[in-house]
Amino acid sequence: MPPLASFLSFCTLFFASGVFCGSYGLPFIDASYDYVIVGGGTSGLTLAARLAANSSISVAVVEAGGYYEVLNPLSVIPGFAAIQATGTDPSDTDLIDWGFVTTPQTGAANRKIHYARGKCLGGTSGRHFMVYHRGTAGSYQKWADLVGDDSYTFDNLVPYFEKSCTLTAPNTSERLANATVTYNPNVFDNSLDGPLQISWPNWASPLSTWIELGLAAIGIKPGADFNSGSLSGSTWVSTTINPSGESRDSSETSFLSQAMSKTGITVYATTMAKKIIFKNTNVAGGVQVEQAGISWTLTAKKEVIISAGAFQSPQMLMVSGIGPSATLRSFGIEVISDLAGVGQNLADHVMFGSVFRVQVTTSSRVTNDVAWAAEAVVDYASGTGPLTAGGFGVLGFERLPDAVRANLTSSTQTALATFPSDWPEVEYLALDGVLGYWKNGLGQFIDSYEYGSVAAALVAPLSRGNVTITSTDTNDAPVINPNWLTDPADIEVALAAFKRARQIWANVNITIGDEYLPGPNISTDAQILDFIRNSAVQVWHASATCAMGKAGDPMAVVDSTAKVFGVKNLRVVDASVFPILPPGHPQSNCYMIAEKIADDILSGR
């Protein structure tokens, strides 16, 4: 079925059956399951589906949101990903977003920044940009060393990465001839029938073909592969787009939909988890949940698993008595496990960039060419054209070259030397349209010109933020302080990366006129830094706020099987348990960690 048709029939099904965002469990009634999972997001649904696959295990998922396809139909179309309330302006939120806003960020011109997070089945995989790749072998070795468990080396993780997904080769008849994809099929195993679809869109951005050349000109060579444990050079990145229909694939369309048809999984949608319930002082025995002001209890016969994401998993632990004791006591919360690391160590990436008017078609064209826009919609109905892609194509990663590195202060060089030698400092993203200040995704549509951006993202940041609570109620947003661009090393790398982005453009001869943003008059380090602080936007990779670590590490929250220290029958499984944020885009790691811990649980570990 063509994607629009299948999508419409999907909607009709839900409207007609009257379960529009309703609960699929029996609401308001106390019930008991082997496993109760809080958060039906990227990791949560993956883990839930794997546990429920055994018919003698009962699994319930508690998710605050509903179906993103119903609440926000455009979110399924890759070409509309950028306009799904991803902006930094606090007003840029929607029905599948939590509407979180950071504290004033001293490193980012004191702005209070909207931080997009999915509030829906699929969680943030229901509204992200779909880039899929894995971290470097050195980053996983560091993970293994930090947690004292060799099962986290890249070679040992590959089976879990493979298990979650199925790879489809690029459709070369639909893509540009000069947009050759390079990849290594040997790090995928389609015989495992992994539910998550990985593919390349049926559209290659012409802008990216040029940026690829600009990257090569400054030493970032094409032909890389980002799924085999190395991030160096450039490539057309793989994406979580379902090639049958070219629609967004999320943990909901992959893992949950499979589990709904094949297992007895129970999903409590549009239901808030309020608190973990303990029995015998420190044994997790269930979750107190709430819908429409009515509260009831889901008992967990075996375990409670928290998969509420990097902001709300620490919140859930804290309101339930697990976290820094001083914070808990200040809210009158009884301390069940005093863990100083809960909410600390927040790792994230930020990006900023240089924008030009260009002589090739980019998504900016949508505003000035109605016929083109109409054709794009028609093409999408048959799974082709620009709407099949998310507004990007080529990504590049690099460790800053020696000549640039030599210019950094010795303290920054020392700080960067703490990263494994294969860990890049900068990612460059070729973006169709205007990155600009990214107040909202529509800000890219300016006038009758077409625009392109080269963004630089800091993927070896030293700055760390934190998350805490303002009350004992999970309905109140957590306090989110990413602390971007506060470490002096990050500032130096950001300046160097910004200048590299300009050099990339200097080697791309399809530009029109001078740099559009920030403009050629922004030339001194002070001016560039001012622009970076005022325009920096997160890459939305918040993680490591319930960090995995060795027993006895005072900042560790969970052990290497994701069990929370100091309590029993409780795990946390999502981006919050990464001990470090591997370089690049993290969703592969969210699926991997869910697969790995599901295996631990099913194997009795």
Ligand X SMILES: *[C@@H]1O[C@H](CO)[C@@H](O)[C@H](O)[C@H]1NC(C)=O
Q: Which is nearer to ligand FAD, 204 or 272 (CB)?
A: 272
Q: Is 521 in the site for ligand X (CB under 6 A)?
A: yes
Residues belonging to the chain: 605
Separation between Cα atoms, residue 122 and residue 43, nearest integer Å: 9
Shortest distance (Å) from residue 38 CB to ligand FAD = 6
Q: Is 124 annotated as a binding residue?
A: yes
Of positions 9, 12, 91, 178, contacts ligand X by CB under 6 A: 178
Nearer to ligand FAD, 43 or 463 (CB): 43
The type of residue at 175 is: R
* 128 included as an active-site residue: no
Question: Of the candidates 30, 314, 195, which has an alpha carbon nearest to the alpha carbon of residue 598?
Answer: 195
Q: Which residue is nearest to ligand FAD (CB)?
A: 41
**Which listed residue (51, 52, 57, 577) binds ligand X by CB under 6 A?**
57
From the list ligand X, ligand FAD, none, pick the one residue 57 interacts with, judged by a Cβ distance below 5 to 8 Å according to partner type.
ligand X
Output the CA torsion 458→459→464→465 (10° steps).
Answer: 80
CB of 362 to ligand X, least distance (A): 11
Angle of CA points 230, 236, 240, to nearest 5°: 90
Retrieve residue 282's tokens.
């420190």
Instruction: State phi, psi for 282 to the nearest 5 degrees.
Output: -130, 25
Q: Look at residue 174 and give the partner it binds from ligand X, ligand FAD, none, a contact being a CB closer than 5 to 8 Å depending on partner kind.
A: ligand X
Burial of 552: CB neighbours in 10 Å, binned 0-12, 13-18, 19+: exposed
Rounded distance between C-alpha atoms, residue 364 and residue 166, angstroms: 32
User: From the list 6, 9, 12, 54, which residue makes contact with ligand X (rule: CB under 6 A)?
Assistant: 54
From 441, 540, 62, select the one nearest 275 (Cα to Cα): 62
463 marked among binding-site residues: no
206 binds, among ligand FAD, ligand X, none (CB under 5 to 8 A by kind): ligand X
Q: Does 388 bind ligand X (CB under 6 A)?
A: no
Residue type, 69: E
Nearer to ligand X, 85 or 355 (CB): 355
Give the max Cα distance, the chain.
Answer: 70
Does position 45 bind ligand X by CB under 6 A? no
Residues 202-261 that bind ligand X (CB under 6 A): 202, 206, 209-210, 213
Residue 319 near which of ligand X, ligand FAD, none (CB within 5-8 Å, type-dependent)? none
Q: Among ligand X, ligand FAD, none, what does residue 125 contact (CB within 5–8 Å per kind)? A: ligand FAD
Q: How far apart are CA 43 and CA 46, in angstroms?
A: 5
349 is in an annotated binding site: no
Active site residue 114: no
Collapse the DSSP code of 294 into the 3-class scheme (helix H, G, I; strand E, B; otherwise coil) and give the result: strand
**Helix or strand (DSSP H, E) at 5:** helix 3-17
Rounded Cα gap, residues 456 and 397, in angstroms: 9
Q: Which residues, numbered 491-520, are part of the site for ligand X (CB under 6 A)?
A: 509-510, 519
Which residues in this chain contact ligand FAD in the complex, by CB under 6 A?
38-44, 62-65, 86, 116-119, 123-125, 128-131, 272-273, 307-310, 312, 316, 474, 540-541, 574-575, 585-587, 590
> What is d(CA 56, CA 125) in angstroms, rounded to the nearest whole number?
29
- How far apart, in whole angstroms, are the C-alpha atoms of residue 453 and residue 449? 13
**CA-to-CA distance for 579 and 559, rounded, in angstroms?**
10
* Residue 42 labelled as part of a binding site: yes
What is the H or E stretch that residue 169 is in?
Answer: none
261's tokens: 């048809």
Strands 120-121 and 66-67, sheet pairing: parallel
Q: Among ligand X, ligand FAD, none, what binds residue 93 when CB lies within 5 to 8 Å by partner kind? A: none
Look at the alpha carbons of 118, 123, 127, 131 in this order and tell me if their dihedral is positive or negative. Answer: positive
CA distance 485 to 537: 11
Identify which of residues 314 and 452 has a Cβ nearer to ligand FAD in the complex: 314
| Ligand-binding site membership of 182 (annotated) | no
Q: Which of ligand FAD, ligand X, none lies near 202, with the C-beta cut-off 5 to 8 A by kind?
A: ligand X
The answer to whether the annotation marks 541 as part of a ligand binding site is yes
Considering beta carbons, is residue 152 or 226 the nearer one to ligand FAD?
Answer: 226
Choice from 145, 174, 338, 600 touching ligand X (CB under 6 A)? 174
Catalytic option among 114, 128, 349, 585: 585
Residues 565, 107: Cα–Cα separation, whole Å? 33
Nearer to ligand X, 452 or 582 (CB): 452
Q: Can you tell me the distance from the alpha carbon of 407 to that of 429, in angstroms, rounded to the nearest whole number?
A: 24
Q: Which does 41 bind (CB under 5 to 8 A by kind): ligand X, ligand FAD, none?
A: ligand FAD
Annotated binding residues, written as ranges, equal 42-43, 124, 540-541, 586-587
Annotated binding residues for FAD, written as ranges, equal 42-43, 124, 540-541, 586-587
Write out the residues near ligand X by the rule CB under 6 A: 54, 56-57, 171, 173-174, 176, 178, 202, 206, 209-210, 213, 360, 383-384, 403-404, 407, 466, 468, 481, 483, 509-510, 519, 521-522, 527
Active site residue ranges: 541, 585
